[in-house]
C-alpha cells in the first residue's frame, strides 16, 4: 500500500485527523486538571469531524469543523495557561501536543474544504437573494411568443 497516495485521498486525511485528535483528547483528559469546557468543545469537534467524514460532498461539515478547530486552539491555549497542573504532567503533555497539532489539522481541513469546492468566505457574497448579477427570471411567464391571428 502506497502511504503517500493514501494520504492524498481526502477521506483518509479526514480519518487521520479524527483519529489523532481523538487519541490526544482522550489522553489529555486522563488528568482531572482541565476544565469541563475542554471536554465539551472537543466533543463538538470530534462530532463535526465524523460528520465531515460521513458527508463526503458537504462543504458545510468541513467548514464548521475548521471553525471549531480554530476556536479550540484558543480555548486549549487558555485552558493550558490557566489550569496547568502541578502534578499529572502526563495529561498536560498530550494537551499541549493536541494544541500544537491544531494548526496543522486546520490546514488539512482547509485543503479538504477547497477539494470539496468550498471556501472560508463567511461574508456571504453571492449567496444572498438579489446578488450575483443575474436578472430576475419570471418562471410563470410564457417564454414562447403567443401566435397572432391573422
pLDDT one-digit tens code per residue, 88-127: 788 899 999 999 999 999 999 988 888 888 777 766 554 4
The reply to whether 83 falls in a domain is yes
Q: How far is the C-alpha of 50 from the C-alpha of 14, rounded, in Å?
A: 9
From 14, 10, 26, select the one nearest 98 (Cα to Cα): 26
Split into its structural domains, the chain has a count of: 1
pTM reported for the whole predicted model: 0.70
| CA–CA separation, 111 and 62 (whole Å) | 10
Let me know if residue 95 belongs to a domain. Answer: yes
In a domain, 122, yes or no: no
**Has residue 57 been placed in a domain?**
yes
Please report whether residue 71 resides in a domain: yes
Question: What is the extent of the structural domain holding 80?
Answer: 3-115
Q: Which residue has the cell 411567464?
A: 141
SS3 helix, strand, coil % of the chain, rounded to 5? Answer: 65, 0, 35
Q: What is the pLDDT of residue 126?
A: 45
For residue 148, is it within any domain? no
- Residue 63's pLDDT is 92
pLDDT recorded at residue 43: 96
Grouped pLDDT means (10 residues each) for the chain, 150 residues: 70 89 92 90 95 90 93 93 85 93 92 83 51 58 66
Nearest Cα neighbor of 110 from 1, 2, 14 is 14
Whether residue 126 is contained in a domain is answered as: no
Q: How many CB atoms are closer than 10 A to CB 109?
A: 26
Identify whether 103 is part of a domain: yes
Amino acid at each position: 500500500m502506497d502511504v503517500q497516495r493514501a494520504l492524498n485521498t481526502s477521506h483518509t486525511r479526514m480519518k487521520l485527523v479524527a483519529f489523532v485528535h481523538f487519541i490526544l483528547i482522550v489522553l489529555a483528559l486522563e488528568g482531572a486538571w482541565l476544565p469541563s469546557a475542554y471536554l465539551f468543545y472537543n466533543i463538538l469537534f470530534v462530532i463535526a469531524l465524523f460528520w465531515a467524514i460521513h458527508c463526503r460532498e458537504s462543504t458545510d461539515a468541513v467548514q464548521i469543523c475548521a471553525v471549531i478547530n480554530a476556536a479550540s486552539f484558543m480555548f486549549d491555549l487558555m485552558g493550558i495557561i490557566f489550569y496547568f497542573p502541578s502534578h499529572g504532567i502526563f495529561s498536560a503533555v498530550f494537551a499541549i501536543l493536541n494544541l500544537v497539532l491544531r494548526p496543522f489539522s486546520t490546514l488539512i481541513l482547509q485543503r479538504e474544504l477547497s477539494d470539496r469546492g468550498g471556501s472560508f468566505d463567511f461574508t456571504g457574497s453571492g449567496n444572498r437573494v438579489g446578488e450575483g448579477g443575474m436578472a430576475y427570471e419570471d418562471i410563470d411567464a410564457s417564454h414562447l411568443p403567443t401566435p397572432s391571428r391573422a
